[in-house]
């Protein structure tokens, strides 16, 4: 089953880089004007907080094991402003490395081995805000699949003595601001800077009985090609 999931995610991810051929009158997906890709390298820190607490800035709790992560996300535009709605739709692939370190007494439970994570999902961006004439802003939310090479220390901590799973649901939330509008440098027209939340969970036990997950706060710049 694991191999099937990895194969499925890999195959779907490869579609990001493909061009659609044989356009018909309704075959509009992937046929977008202008930039087609978003590249987003990021760095992040692990947190014990729930996703709701992070979104509302209510309760920010650090990971007791000081987990860090770094990764890259590649997105392919599928639709840009369809029917003039202020939204963009992309497909997203990401590769993330979690840097695990542990020096406590439960060395047989926690790990010092890095975790590699791959994700694939669909992302929707909201691109209209009242302050756009000052700084163009976009809020993105993605939903997809996630697979990790082993369980991160953060998930081991959050689900101590409970079920864990390599395969979980993936949500990525990003809020980014146009770099040209901030710096007045014309070369940064297609570049945004921002922060986000990288979330994995079992959707309250729906996936492999995992009731919980992990949240990481990320900081990034993203550029379009």
Partner 1 sequence: MKKLILFFSLMISMTITSFSETTNFQLGLTPTLNIGKGEEVVGLRVPVFFGTTEKVTGIDFNIFASEVEEFKGLQGGIFLGAGIFNKVNTEFKGVGLGLVNLHGGDSEGVLIGATNLTNKFTGLKLGILNYSKSHSDYELGIINYSNEAFFQFGLINVANQINGIQVGLLNFAKNGVLSVMPFFNFNWKL
The secondary structure of residue 15, as a DSSP letter, is G
**The one among 203, 205, 209, 219 contacting partner 1 by CB under 8 A:** 203
For every residue of the chain, which 3-state class applies, written as one string? CHHHHHHHHHHHHHHHHCCCCCCCCCCCCCCCCCCCEEEEEEEEEEECCCHHHHHCCCCCCECCCCCEEEEEEEEEEEEECHHHCCEEEEEEEEEEEEECCCCCCCCCCCCCCCEEEEEEEEEEEECCCCCCCCCCEEEEEEEEEEEECCCCHHHHHHCCCCCCCCEEEEEEEEEEEEHHHHHCCHHHCCEEEEEEEEEEECCCCCCCCCCCEEEEEEEEEEEEC
Q: Which residue of 26, 56, 103, 187 would you call a contact of partner 1, by CB under 8 A?
A: 26
* Mask for 36-65, x = binds partner 1 (CB under 8 A): ------------------------------
84 binds partner 1 (CB under 8 A): yes
Q: Is 12 in the site for partner 1 (CB under 8 A)?
A: yes
- Is residue 124 at the binding interface for partner 1, with CB under 8 A as the rule? yes
Q: Which member of 109, 143, 160, 208 binds partner 1 (CB under 8 A)?
A: 143
- SS3 assignment, position 205: coil
Q: How far is CA 209 from CA 168, 216, 225, in A?
A: 10, 21, 40
186 scored as a contact of partner 1 (CB under 8 A): no
Q: Which is nearer to partner 1, 11 or 60 (CB)?
A: 11
Is residue 7 a contact residue for partner 1 (CB under 8 A)? no
Q: Closest separation between CB of residue 8 and partner 1, Å?
A: 10
Q: Does 206 bind partner 1 (CB under 8 A)?
A: yes
- Which residue, 75 or 181, is less far from partner 1 as judged by CB? 75
User: Residue 12 or residue 195: which is nearer to partner 1 going by CB?
Assistant: 12
Considering only 26-34, 45-53, 92-100, 151-159, which stretch makes contact with partner 1 by CB under 8 A? 26-34
Binding site for partner 1 (CB under 8 A): 1, 12, 15, 20-22, 24, 26-30, 78-79, 82-85, 87, 89, 122, 124, 141, 143, 203, 206
């Amino acid at each position: 089953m694991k191999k099937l999931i990895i194969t499925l995610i890999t195959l779907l991810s490869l579609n990001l880089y493909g061009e659609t051929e044989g356009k018909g009158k309704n075959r509009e997906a992937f046929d977008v004007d202008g930039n087609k890709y978003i590249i987003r390298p990021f760095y992040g820190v692990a947190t014990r907080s729930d996703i709701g607490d992070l979104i509302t800035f209510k309760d920010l709790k650090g990971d007791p094991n000081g987990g860090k992560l770094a990764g890259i996300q590649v997105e392919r535009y599928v639709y840009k402003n369809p029917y003039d709605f202020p939204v963009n739709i992309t497909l997203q692939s990401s590769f993330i490395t979690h840097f695990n370190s542990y020096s406590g007494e439960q060395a047989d439970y926690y790990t010092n081995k890095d975790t590699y994570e791959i994700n694939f999902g669909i992302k929707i961006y909201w691109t209209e805000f009242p302050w756009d004439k000052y700084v163009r802003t976009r809020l993105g939310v993605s939903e997809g699949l996630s697979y990790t090479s082993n369980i991160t220390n953060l998930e081991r901590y959050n689900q101590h003595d409970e079920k864990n799973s390599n395969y979980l649901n993936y949500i990525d939330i990003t809020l980014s601001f146009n770099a040209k509008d901030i710096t007045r440098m014309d070369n940064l027209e297609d570049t945004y800077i921002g922060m986000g939340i990288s979330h994995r969970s079992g959707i309250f036990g729906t996936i492999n009985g995992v009731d919980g997950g992990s949240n990481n706060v990320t900081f990034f710049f993203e550029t379009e090609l």
